[in-house]
Structure formats: C-alpha cells, structure tokens
Structure 1
Amino acid sequence: MQGAVRLLFQWMPFLFGIGFIAPLVAQTLAYWGWPAPWGMSRIAFGLLVGAPWGLYATLRGRWL
C-alpha cells in the first residue's frame, strides 16, 4: 500500500496538470470568449498546455 501511495504522489504533478491546469485553461478561454487556436476545442488546447507542463514538473521535480 505504501508503494502505491508513493507512486501516486510521484505522478501527482502530471495528474494536477491534466486535472486542474487543463480545465483552468479551457475555462479561462471560455470566460474571455476566445477560441482555441488551430480549430481545436478549448479542453483539447488545455490538455495540450497542461499535460506537458505536468509531465515537465514530474520529470524535473519543479514547476518552473
């Protein structure tokens, strides 16, 4: 059980990028009435931003 929790917390920045940053980007675009670039949906663009950012944070150990 401890190993499963450790693995979950190791990947938490990536999950945060998908589960929080991506919807936040999509909602921000919707609030301001901006379309997502390249004809994609707002949530797809949010995932395009949030997933790599979360993966970067997971691999590097920091957000910036």
Structure 2
Amino acid sequence: MPDEKTKKIQDTAAALFNGYIEEKPYELWLSFDTKLAKEMSRFVVGAMYARDVLPLTQRANT
C-alpha cells in the first residue's frame, strides 16, 4: 500500500496527465534511465505541482 506522499503524487500525476495522448515526460525519462525517471517524476509531480490550492478569500486573509 502506498504511503501518503506517494498517493498524493499519483493523484497529482493523474490530474495533470489524465487523457494526455502525447509522450509523457516519465516515459521519455524511463526510456534511458529508470532511476532518473523515478527521481524526476517524484520531484516534478511531488514537489513542483503537488500543493494545496488556497481559495482567494483565504489568500487575502494571510
């Protein structure tokens, strides 16, 4: 069973790439380096894009 971070990464990847018909970045990286593919995918999807979106009203109050 995946941990919480892995689950969030999978959910974010699905939201970003679901229905995308072109070659996905992970597939390109995987074609030449398996370890790099996993590290890059976890960074891009897990760090850059896996964040909670705050509603405008909440952002205005901070």
Normalised-by-shorter TM-score class: 0.3 to 0.5
TM-score by length of 1: 0.34
Bigger CA radius of gyration: 2
TM-score by length of 2: 0.35
